[in-house]
Amino acid sequence: MEEEGPGATVHLLCLAASSGVPLFCRSSRGGTPTRQQLPFSVIGSLNGVHMFGQNLEVQLNSAKTEDTTVVWRSFHDSITLIVLSSEEDTSELRLERLLQMVFGAMVLFVGLEELTDIRNVERLKKELRASYHLIDSFLGDSELIGDLTQCVDCVIPPEGSPLQEALSGFAEATGTAFVSLVVSGRVVAATDSWWRLGTPESVLLPWLVGSLPPQAARDYPVYLPHGSPTVPHRLLTLTLLPGLELCLLCGPRPSLSQLDQQLLERWWQPLLDPLRTCLPLGPRALPDGFPLHADILGLLLLHLELKRCLFTVEPLGDKEPSAEQRRRLLRNFYTMVTTTQFPPESGPAEKAEDVVRSAQQPRACYVVLGPGSGWQFMALHLGMRLLLLLLSPQSPTYGLRSLATNTLNALTPLL
C-alpha cells in the first residue's frame, strides 16, 4: 500500500457497445483534468479486445501491464466504460467503483433510456457534455470519499437539533419530503426521505452540488439512477451562506419563485449562528473541540447499514504528511482492508457454515508504512461500523487497538 505518484495519469473512455463509437474521453494527470487524449488506434484496440472476448463468451474485466491497470465494464449491453490508470498500486476495486459512479453520473444527466436505446450518437455526445464537470471531479483529487466507499459524505454540526427541526418544518411548508443541507458536497442534515435515497443518487446529488460553481439558486433536471432512471426530477438549490446550500428534490412543484424570501427568512434567519458554525465543517467534518487523540492524522468512519461516512484528514493542524497525501493514504488503506480483511457483507447468514465464517472474520488490523515514513494505520470493525485511522509514527503499536476503540466509542453517537 504505497502513496500515489504526483504525475499519475488516469484516462476514462466511454463507447457505444454495439458500434464501438467513442462518446467521450476524459483524462487527468496528478489529480488535475487534462486535455490529453488517447490515440484512436489505442481506443479501438482496448474496445476490440473486450468485444473479442465477449464473442468467445469470455468476460474481460481487467488487465495489468508494467505501469498501467485497465478495467472494462459494460452497462445494459449498451455502454462500455474503460479506465486506464498509471497510479502506483491502484486496485481494481477502486477503478470498478469509479466506473459505477461515472455511469451513475451519465444517467443522472441524460436518463437511462437515452443510454440503453442510442438512436442518435451525435446528439447523445452533446447531451453528455453536461456531465463532464461531475465526471472530472471523480478523476481528480477530491476531498470526498463517497465515490470509493459508496456511502454519503457527512459532517457533524455543533447544533444539529435546531437545524433538523428547521429542515423538517421547511420541507412541510414547501410540500416536498426530500430536503437536505449541504456544505462543500457533504450532508449536514437531511429529512428521512432524503436519507432513504438509494445508491448511487444518495452520493451523486450532494457531490454534484459541491462540484458546481457558486450560484444563488438553481433549478436542475436530474434522473435518479436507482429510484427514477427514466423520469426526471427537479433538484432545487438555494444558497443560505457562501458554501452552504439548501437542496430540494421535487416534482413540478414548488417552483423556484415559490421559495420566496419570506419563506427562507421564516425558517433560516433565526438560525444564522448555527448555520455559520457549519461552514468550517467541510474539510474537518467534526466540530471544533471534539476530543481526538493527538496521534490521529486522519480518520474514516463508515456506518455500513445507513451508508453514511465521516472522512477527515484535518483533525489536528498541519502536521506532516500533507492533507492530499493523507487522503491518498487513507483511500489506499480503505481499498486494502475492503478487499483483504473486511469484505462487504453479502447478506444475512443462512447456513451454519456462513455463521462460522462470519465469526472467524477479523475485527481489527494494522499496517505500518515503510521504510522511512513509518505512518501507521489501524482498522476496527465492530457491528455496522468500520473505523480507519491514520496515525503518526510516534504512536506506540501496543496502544493502537485501545486508541481505535476509544475513538470509535466517542464517534458512535454521532453516526
Closest residue by Cα to residue 188 from 141, 272, 247: 247
- Final residue of a structural domain among 235, 250, 283: 283
Q: Is the per-residue pLDDT at 342 higher than 90? A: no
Q: How far is CA 35 from the centre of its chain?
A: 24
What is the 3-class SS of 47-59, one letter each residue?
A: HHHHHHHHHCCCC
Q: Is the dihedral of CA 262, 263, 269, 270 positive or negative?
A: positive
Among 32-46, 177-191, 293-307, 386-400, name the one with the lowest average pLDDT.
Answer: 32-46
Q: Is the per-residue pLDDT at 346 higher than 50? A: no
Lookup: cell for 214: 457558486
User: Residue 83: helix, strand or coil by DSSP?
Assistant: strand
Q: Is the per-residue pLDDT at 351 higher than 70? A: no
The residue with cell 410540500 is 175
Q: Report pLDDT digits (tens) over 26-57.
A: 999 888 888 888 888 888 899 888 888 877 88
* Domain presence at residue 350: no
Query: Which neighbouring-strand residues pair with 224?
Result: 228
Q: How far apart are the first and last CA of the chain?
A: 28
* Residue numbers of the domain that contains 263: 152-283
Whether residue 7 contacts residue 339, with contact meaning beta carbons closer than 8 Å, is answered with: no
**Beta-sheet strand order (sheet of 228-241):** 186-190, 178-183, 244-250, 228-241, 217-224
Could you give the CA distance from residue 287 to residue 157 in angstroms, rounded to a whole number? 6
Kindly state whether residues 297 and 213 are assigned to the same domain. Answer: no
What CATH number corresponds to the domain at position 182?
3.30.450.30
Lookup: cell for 250: 421535487
Kindly state whether residues 120 and 179 are assigned to the same domain. Answer: no
- Final residue of a structural domain among 111, 141, 171: 141
* Domain presence at residue 372: yes
* Domain presence at residue 325: yes
Q: How far is CA 128 from the centre of its chain?
A: 20
pLDDT at 265: 86
Kind plus residue range of the DSSP H or E element containing 385: strand 385-391
Kindly state whether residues 66 and 23 are assigned to the same domain. Answer: yes
Question: If you average pLDDT over residues 81-103, what whole number do you get?
Answer: 92
What CATH number corresponds to the domain at position 398?
3.30.450
Kindly state whether residues 277 and 301 are assigned to the same domain. Answer: no
What CATH number corresponds to the domain at position 119?
3.30.450.70
* Domain presence at residue 349: no
Number of structural domains the chain divides into: 3
Kindly state whether residues 229 and 314 are assigned to the same domain. Answer: no
Kindly state whether residues 175 and 278 are assigned to the same domain. Answer: yes
Kindly state whether residues 98 and 175 are assigned to the same domain. Answer: no
Question: If you average pLDDT over residues 262-283, what whole number do you get?
Answer: 90
Q: Is the per-residue pLDDT at 248 higher than 70? A: yes
Kindly state whether residues 84 and 29 are assigned to the same domain. Answer: yes
Angle between helices 160-174 and 261-268 (to 10 degrees): 150
- Final residue of a structural domain among 141, 163, 189: 141
Could you give the CA distance from residue 196 to residue 173 in angstroms, rounded to a whole number? 20
Question: If you average pLDDT over residues 381-406, what whole number do you get?
Answer: 93
Question: If you average pLDDT over residues 173-177, what whole number do you get?
Answer: 91
* Domain presence at residue 147: no
Q: Is the per-residue pLDDT at 352 higher than 70? A: no
Among 56-70, 140-154, 374-388, name the one with the lowest average pLDDT.
Answer: 56-70
Kindly state whether residues 13 and 137 are assigned to the same domain. Answer: yes
Instruction: Determine how many CB atoms are found less than 10 A away from the CB of residue 136.
Output: 17
* Domain presence at residue 1: no
Lookup: cell for 280: 468550517
Q: Is the per-residue pLDDT at 5 higher than 50? A: no
Could you give the CA distance from residue 18 to residue 327 in angstroms, rounded to a whole number? 38
Q: Report pLDDT digits (tens) over 296-319.
A: 999 999 999 999 999 999 866 566
Kindly state whether residues 106 and 216 are assigned to the same domain. Answer: no
* Domain presence at residue 3: no
Kindly state whether residues 102 and 167 are assigned to the same domain. Answer: no
* Domain presence at residue 262: yes
Q: How far is CA 367 from the centre of its chain?
A: 24
Lookup: cell for 298: 486522519
Q: Is the pTM higher than 0.75? A: yes
What is the 3-class SS of 216-277, one letter each residue?
A: CEEEEEEEECCCEEEEEEEEEEEEEECCEEEEEEECCCCCHHHCCHHHHHHHHHHHHHHHHC
pLDDT at 341: 87
Q: Is the per-residue pLDDT at 214 higher than 50? A: yes
The residue with cell 468550517 is 280
Kindly state whether residues 173 and 268 are assigned to the same domain. Answer: yes
Question: If you average pLDDT over residues 333-347, what whole number do you get?
Answer: 80
Whether residue 182 contacts residue 239, with contact meaning beta carbons closer than 8 Å, is answered with: no
